Structure 1
Amino acid sequence: MVRKTKEDAELTRQKIVDAARTVFLARGVSRSTLEHIASQAEVTRGAVYWHFKNKTEIFHAIREQVFLPLIDRMDDTLAISADNSQNPLDQIEASMCSTIQALNDNIEMREIYEIMMIKCEYVDEFALVLHQIMNNCSSLVEKIEATYARAQSQNLLASSITPGALALDTHLFFGGLLHMWVKDADGSKFRYQAIDLIKSHIKLRRK
């Protein structure tokens, strides 16, 4: 009975998160209320408050659905192989391409990226969210820098630019590409060539 209650609670929580994604996408985060989310989820406002203290917590829950898997995927892709035989530049390229492929394949992921990038104003209670996003970005840059450092140690880089500078450049390139990918709804400008753009970006670094 207790297990069933926990399962029901988790189902309700996920229903609220899914409803919030729909509401945020349609109205924008700032114009969405807990009442809108409760109505979309077909639950009471009290049920929403049982699971989430406020709208910011719901936003975090939505974001974690894509960001945590992204971190895991990057960790797996950029990890040093057991025999150290993987080309580090191939690993960086693959980490970006896999994100684009996931966006192509997963409508939920596309919607969440759209909310994060163009449907949310990071002000007031969401100012802290922006700070956390920036911290997460720093962590990603560090992972990419370590991979460029391996490429440098293997004499694979065409440039004498430091791994740190290369990592920051790659991070900014990919962040910009993701923003334009999300905005390119009909796929006529960036989506169709995103993989080729990534490969060109890494090719400029190859010796």
Structure 2
Amino acid sequence: MPKRTKAEAEATREALLDAAEVIFLERGVSRTSLEQIARQAGMTRGAVYWHFKNKSDLFHAMLERVKMPLRQLLDDVEDPERPNEPLESLRRATLHVVERLQRPRSRRVHTILFHRCEVASDVDVLNLHEKLANECYDTMVERFEQARERGTLTESVEPEIATRMLMSMLVGLMYDWLRNPESYDIGDVGPRMINTFFGRLVHV
């Protein structure tokens, strides 16, 4: 029975997060109440407070379902036959980010993060974006510095500048495509942009 109870509690939590995705996407974060989320899930507001302290706590839990730290992505995509090629690992990880973005849940949550999450809301959006950016920045700089040490990063680009360029391109691509996904095929355009970028950085 305890196992069943735990499973039921987890199912309730997931249903609330599913409902939050729907309402946040439709109304925006600041105009969504916990009561509306509970109603969308067919539950009471008490059920929401049983699992989440507040809207911000619920929002972060929703984000965690699709978030994959860049460092973990790098570990997952690193080619075992080419373990010491940081530029190739970064390229493959960036391609994987674009691939994951096209999955329905990831697309919904990132649309909320980029386009439905007003600054004046219950969620500290600016701090959240800053935290996510810093996590990516530190990891990218580390890899570009490794590439510089191995002589594979072109000498004309510093690791910090390469990182800023890659982050600007990736965030801009995500923001632009999520604004109007029908305007172009990110599955085609994204890899072409990424491969062109890394092709210019390799020292020959």
| TM-score higher than 0.5 | yes
After TM superposition, give the deviation of residue 76 of structure 1 in Å. Answer: 3.2
Take 1:40 and 1:174, find their aligned partners in 2: how far apart are those partners? 33
Cα gap change, 1:150 to 1:140, in 2 (>3 Å)? same
Q: Which amino acid aligns with 1:151?
A: A
TM superposition score normalised by structure 1: 0.88
SS in 2 for 1:126: coil
Q: 1:167 corresponds to which residue?
A: 163
Deviation readout 1:106-150 (Å, 9 max, x if unpaired): 1011100100000101335322x4313312311211111111112
Which residue of 115, 119, 122 maps to 2:116? 119
Q: 1:98 corresponds to which residue?
A: 96
Which residue of 130, 136, 140 maps to 1:134? 130
Cα gap change, 1:25 to 1:205, in 2 (>3 Å)? same
**Matched residues, percent identical?**
30
Do 1:23 and 1:32's aligned partners in 2 also have CA atoms closer than 8 Å?
yes
Mean alpha-carbon deviation: is it higher for 6-15 or for 186-195? 186-195
Do 1:89 and 1:151's aligned partners in 2 also have CA atoms closer than 8 Å?
yes
After superposition, residues 14-163 of structure 1 pair within 5 angstroms as 14-68=14-68, 72-77=72-77, 85-104=83-102, 106-127=103-124, 129-163=125-159
Cα gap change, 1:5 to 1:66, in 2 (>3 Å)? same
After TM superposition, give the deviation of residue 71 of structure 1 in Å. Answer: 5.1
Do 1:180 and 1:190's aligned partners in 2 also have CA atoms closer than 8 Å?
no
SS in 1 for 2:122: helix
Do 1:181 and 1:191's aligned partners in 2 also have CA atoms closer than 8 Å?
no
Superposition RMSD on alpha carbons, in Å? Answer: 2.1
Take 1:74 and 1:138, find their aligned partners in 2: how far apart are those partners? 16
Deviation readout 1:130-181 (Å, 9 max, x if unpaired): 3133123112111111111121112112243321221122112211111112
Which residue of 164, 177, 201 maps to 1:205? 201
Cα gap change, 1:170 to 1:4, in 2 (>3 Å)? same
Q: Provide structure 1 residue ranges, at least 5 long, that are not aligned to the other structure.
A: none
SS in 1 for 2:67: helix
TM superposition score normalised by structure 2: 0.89
After TM superposition, give the deviation of residue 189 of structure 1 in Å. Answer: 6.7
Give the aligned length. Answer: 203
Q: Which amino acid aligns with 1:195?
A: P
After TM superposition, give the deviation of residue 82 of structure 1 in Å. Answer: 7.0
Q: Which amino acid aligns with 2:176?
A: M
Take 2:82 and 2:135, find their aligned partners in 1: how far apart are those partners? 23
